């Protein structure tokens, strides 16, 4: 039998890493990036960023979108519906005018057809942007904003608009539908709203 000295030491997978919910972007961050993309002519990134915020889709669903998923003929639709890979449940999302304009410009610039992936990969052998590529792109955005990479991830994009809407409406059921969650409890945990609401109530209570 081997002794303890021969046992391979395994470090915890999360040692030195920040784990847990990734922070949503603030309005000032959203507009800072949009203005930068527009001024620098970064058409693809503006389309990807705007659609990521609007759609509230998981990264795997966002990168797998085809042109036909968001457009009717030559026009980008104001609403779309896709089947989620994780839950196999359909989810609908709105496409705001700013996002439609950005998508229209990108589709035209890239010469994309209806059956094409909306965000083709620039890497050989990959038909569309991968989730890791998407995460790397987002990491560069976070760097440009001067924020900490460890605090943000692709789920920051998914959470941003949902968090803003919830803060304005306090409508949990609407958030559940927009995020495509099967259970309301999942929405509560995902947005971390129990803690936020409890703190808000506590702050408003003077003793």
Task: State pLDDT tens for residues 103-122.
Answer: 999 999 999 999 999 999 87
Long-range contacts of 192-196 (CB under 8 A, 24+ apart): 192/21, 193/166
Q: By mean pLDDT, which of 76-80, 107-111, 187-191 is the weakest?
A: 187-191
Q: What is the DSSP letter of 83?
A: E
Q: Residue written as tokens 């042109």?
A: 67
Q: 10 Å Cβ neighbour count for 80?
A: 21
Question: Which one is predicted more confidently, 160 or 184?
Answer: 160
Average pLDDT over residues 177-200: 73
User: Which residues is 93 bridged to in the sheet?
Assistant: 80
**Angle at the Cα of 43 (from 75 to 146), degrees rounded to 5?**
135
Which pLDDT score, from 0 to 100, does residue 165 have? 83
Q: 10 Å Cβ neighbour count for 22?
A: 18
Provide the whole-model pTM. Answer: 0.78
Contact partners, residue 97, CB within 8 Å, separation at least 6 = none
Q: Residue written as tokens 């890497």?
A: 123
pLDDT digits (tens, 9 = 90+) for 23-56: 889 999 999 999 999 999 999 999 999 999 999 9
pLDDT > 90? residue 152: yes
Mean of the per-residue pLDDT values of the chain: 84
Residue 67 · residue 107 · CB < 8 Å? yes
């Amino acid at each position: 039998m081997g002794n303890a000295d021969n046992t391979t030491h395994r470090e915890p997978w999360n040692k030195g890493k920040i784990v847990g919910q990734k922070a949503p972007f603030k309005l000032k961050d959203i507009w800072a990036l949009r203005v930068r993309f527009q001024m620098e002519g970064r058409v693809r990134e503006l389309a990807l960023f705007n659609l990521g915020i609007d759609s509230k889709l998981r990264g795997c669903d966002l990168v797998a979108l085809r042109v036909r998923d968001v457009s009717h003929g030559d026009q980008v639709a104001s609403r779309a519906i896709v089947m989620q890979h994780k839950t196999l449940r359909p989810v609908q999302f709105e496409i705001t005018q700013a996002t439609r304009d950005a998508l229209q410009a990108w589709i035209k610039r890239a010469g994309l057809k209806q059956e094409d992936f909306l965000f083709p990969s620039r890497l050989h052998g990959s038909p569309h942007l991968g989730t890791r590529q998407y995460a790397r792109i987002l990491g560069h955005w976070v760097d440009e904003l001067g924020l900490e990479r460890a605090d943000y991830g692709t789920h920051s994009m998914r959470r941003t608009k949902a968090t803003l809407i919830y803060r304005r409406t306090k409508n949990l059921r609407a958030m559940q539908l927009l995020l495509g969650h099967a259970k309301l409890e999942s929405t509560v945990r995902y947005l971390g709203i129990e803690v936020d609401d409890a703190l808000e109530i506590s702050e408003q209570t003077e003793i």
